[in-house]
Amino acid sequence: MGDVLGSEALDPAELSRHRRTVERFLLEYECAIDEVETKVRVLRRELSAIHSYNPIESFSSRLKSLDSLARKAQKRGLGSLAQIRESLTDIAGVRVICSFTADVYRVRDMLCRQDDVRLVVEKDYIARPKPNGYRSLHLILEIPVFLSTGPVTVPVEVQLRTIAMDFWASLEHKIFYKYDGDVPSGLLADLTRTAESAASMDGEMERLHREMQSFRTPDDEAEVTEAVLRTLTRLARGLGD
């Protein structure tokens, strides 16, 4: 893009004067989100249709707002879009919620095996939780976006976590927002303790899932298939009446 915003640190007024250029800049990140979401959606559809188990419960995305981008650029002393592109890797974000901890790594592997995806950074807060108990797998992936002017490579932050991890992180975020970051020490201790409880529950539920899967047999699959066919037949007959 070039140094279209000058050499001074960015501020909201400066961003407003160059809104069209900045919107074009953010468009690339928005398209990169679309690319990652499509990859996740395809995996989810394939695993649901072809395999007996789909590890992806849900997914969501977010793009930093202009105000948020301006504040972070000011904080970092970034004076151009080129500097922002080089320094900030969390402008675009996708969060994938998985059923179990093993699924987090399974989905990570499926994404990173794709030819047009490059893993830049991986931070494993599941294996090494933050001091407050936060757990999640953070990836920075470089994704090609094909525009009319040619391809551009865009970083996307992908967070993978279990349902329990996501519930805890959402609660922690609400508490910090309520107390404006100044959370009482007793409540912080409770948060850390509940993070351990959530991790323990994740492990126990995954153990139960593996135990349940070990009892599945080809006959079970055949019975399910026959039951589905009988239901479809009844529905078809009902539509024909």
Q: Would you name the residues annotated as active-site residues?
A: 157
* Tokens coding 149: 């002017």
Contact 4, 18 (CB under 8 A): yes
* Tokens coding 110: 């499926």
What is the distance between the alpha carbons of residues 210 and 202, in angstroms, rounded to a whole number? 12
Q: Which residue is it, tokens 């972070």?
A: 72
Q: Which residue is it, tokens 């409880």?
A: 197
Contact 195, 134 (CB under 8 A): yes
Question: Of 20, 22, 33, which is closest to residue 141 (Cα–Cα)?
Answer: 33
* Tokens coding 57: 């419960």
* Tokens coding 127: 């294996």
Question: Of 176, 158, 175, 67, which is closest to residue 114 (Cα–Cα)?
Answer: 158
∠ at Cα 134 (120, 178), nearest 5°?
120
* Sign of the torsion formed by the C-alpha atoms of 218, 223, 225 and 226: positive
Q: Which residue is it, tokens 């789909």?
A: 54
What is the distance between the alpha carbons of residues 88 and 92, in angstroms, rounded to a whole number? 10
